[in-house]
Amino acid sequence: MDRLKGKVALVTGAARGIGAAIARRFAEEGATVVLADLDGAEDEARDIAEATGATTLALPCDVADPASVAAMHEAAVARVGVIDVLVNNAGINVFREPLKVTDEDWRRCMAVDLEGAWHCSRVVLPGMLAKRHGSIVNIISNHAFTVIRGTFPYPVAKHALLGMTRALGLEYAGQGVTVNAISPGYTETPAVAAYFASQPDPEGFRAGVEAKQPPGRLCRPEEVAAVAVLLASDEARFIVGENIVIDGGVSIRMYE
């Protein structure tokens, strides 16, 4: 399994959940992997290196802070080389009724879920363009093209991130850089597990959520990681500005 052999990949929000699954799968496919996370990802980086034999590097990073992103990128390039693949996975949920959204809610949501992806893309693009080769994969959500009441302003940021994916994809398609997105649905992550646990009847709540998924279960992080490998690989050089949806069919189902 060497679809990413020789590539240096940077994954944000890589300490857990989807980001950790992508980092691990990239390592299994031969990549050197930089795991960037707000709280650091040392344990995950060590576990992946031990399990796969790949070179990994954990670096702290607040994607909402351009200076933090720049420092992380500088350290990564100095230690493992120019970034070939960027996965913008870091994100937060900010769900409110619109008129209950505070200025801080809005700022925090946009800073992480939208601007963070741009901060990271902006620092890696010059190196990719110089090599005329690179891949950026944005982890979005099916909130990027559908809306659930009570989740504002999260879908605003995700719709915008899909727009950024398409704009950058077209801008750089002729210069060797692909930019695409993945939109997972309800996924089995620590954050989702914590949300279920916070409910009065965790098991009953989970069962209700699973019943709404056409396959009868949640998405698994490794299923998202499998698609990320494709988009990061040289097999996907003709995929430009696309958004691959992994939501078990939820978004194509009519109301029931």
Q: Output the pLDDT for position 11.
A: 98
> In 3D, which of 41, 33, 39 has the Cα closest to residue 14?
41
pTM value > 0.75: yes
pLDDT given at position 39: 86
Q: Give the C-alpha separation, 114 to 90, whole Å.
A: 10
Scanning the chain, the segments in alpha helix (DSSP H) are 17-28, 42-52, 66-80, 103-110, 116-131, 154-172, 190-197, 202-211, 221-232
pLDDT of 217: 96
Whether residue 154 lies in the annotated active site: yes
Q: Where in the chain are the domains?
A: 8-184+221-245, 188-218
pLDDT of residue 40: 75
**pLDDT tens across 26-74, in order?**
999 999 999 999 987 999 999 999 999 999 999 999 999 999 999 999 9
Domain 8-184+221-245: assigned CATH number: 3.40.50.720
Residue of 154, 172, 195, 255 marked catalytic: 154
Residue 255's pLDDT is: 78
What stretches in the chain show pLDDT beneath 70? none
Amino acid at 114: L
